[in-house]
Amino acid sequence: MKRKHTIEQVRWDLALRYRLIETVVWWEGRLTTGHLIQSFGISRQQASKDINTYITEHAPKNLAYDKQLKGYVPTKHFKPLFIDDSASAYLHLLYQNNERAPHIDGLALAYAHTKVLEVPDRPIHPEILRPLLKACRDGLRLETEYVSLNTPNVEVRLIAPHTLVYTGMRWHVRAYCEKNGQYRDFVLSRLRGQPELLDPSQNTREFDEDWNTEVPVMIAADGRLSMPQKAIIESDFGMVDGLLVVPSRRALVKYVLQRYQIDHRNLDPTPEAQQIVVTNLRELKPWLYE
């Protein structure tokens, strides 16, 4: 209990360094002060202190110094405290540092062997984002100009935003729309002008039923595949008993399908191309694009 409390009280900047320590030593098998120096711009003395503090105060059995490798290695008792032990922690680290530090001499992370396919950045101006964030935090109404495919001409909208959402391709804000009398998604790059903050709204997040209600997205291998092919797909997606259950809010179901590249309206005639399908599509249809 005491250790858990200690971890929760670690300063955020130290927690980031401890995450790097665990990620590098677990996935690359060797950690040096150079990793911390290059990643955080700190001195060698500070990097050494961080590693020693991590060992003495949090994980005395996780690391051992290897004189031959001239670095720390994970022990057989290694148990991460600041990350999970899935590959995603390491891969996310590579992704986050891909642009910032593509080729750092002496840093063992495999930047030179990593290629990230970047999504084009959609322009979002600070004069738009600032009032949006304040409206979300303080529960305020907002007057903004907005364009959409249905109304390509600029239109004034009164909205009450509550949450910013990143779908993996673009940012949007979940908000109550006074014109339509319902909660909707507004793409940030389609907002125009400078939104004006208004008075508090009665239509807050707690009344957004589709946001507050969870529903599982059930994904399975395409039934047209052979059993060996299905086994490959099930392994690819980490399915259990032939099924991948993705928790989602009802408001985000359509974006989950987009991330998994599932077109619920047009089944690909080639099962090898389709690969996966949604098994509870009928249950999810109310929250999908028609």
Q: Is residue 50 part of a domain?
A: yes
Structural domain range at position 45: 2-113
Query: Quick check: pTM over 0.75?
Result: no
Band of the pLDDT at 152, cuts 50, 70, 90? Answer: confident
Q: Is residue 57 part of a domain?
A: yes
* C-alpha separations of 15 from 32, 58, 91, 151 in Å: 17, 11, 18, 47
- The CATH number covering residue 44 comes to 1.10.10
User: Are 6 and 108 found together in one domain?
Assistant: yes
Q: Could you give the CA distance from residue 239 to residue 259 in angstroms, rounded to a whole number?
A: 17
What mean pLDDT do residues 182-203 have?
A: 94
Q: Could you give the CA distance from residue 227 to residue 127 in angstroms, rounded to a whole number?
A: 54
* C-alpha separations of 224 from 73, 191, 238 in Å: 46, 43, 19
Residue 94 confidence (pLDDT): 67
- The CATH number covering residue 205 comes to 2.30.30
| Average pLDDT over all residues of the chain | 87
9-28 pLDDT, tens digit per residue, is: 788 888 889 988 998 888 88
Band of the pLDDT at 103, cuts 50, 70, 90? Answer: very low
Residue 106 confidence (pLDDT): 41
279-289 pLDDT, tens digit per residue, is: 999 999 999 86
Please count the other Cβ atoms lying within 10 Å of the Cβ belonging to residue 83: 19
Contacts of 281-286 spanning 24+ positions with Cβ under 8 A? 283/215, 284/215, 284/217, 284/253, 286/250
Report the number of distinct structural domains present in the chain.
3
| Boundary-marking domain end, from 176, 209, 242 | 209
SS3 182: strand
User: Are 171 and 258 found together in one domain?
Assistant: no
Q: Could you give the CA distance from residue 154 to residue 204 in angstroms, rounded to a whole number?
A: 25
Is the pLDDT at 253 greater than 80? The verdict is yes
Residue scoring higher pLDDT (15 or 225):
225
Residue 161 confidence (pLDDT): 96
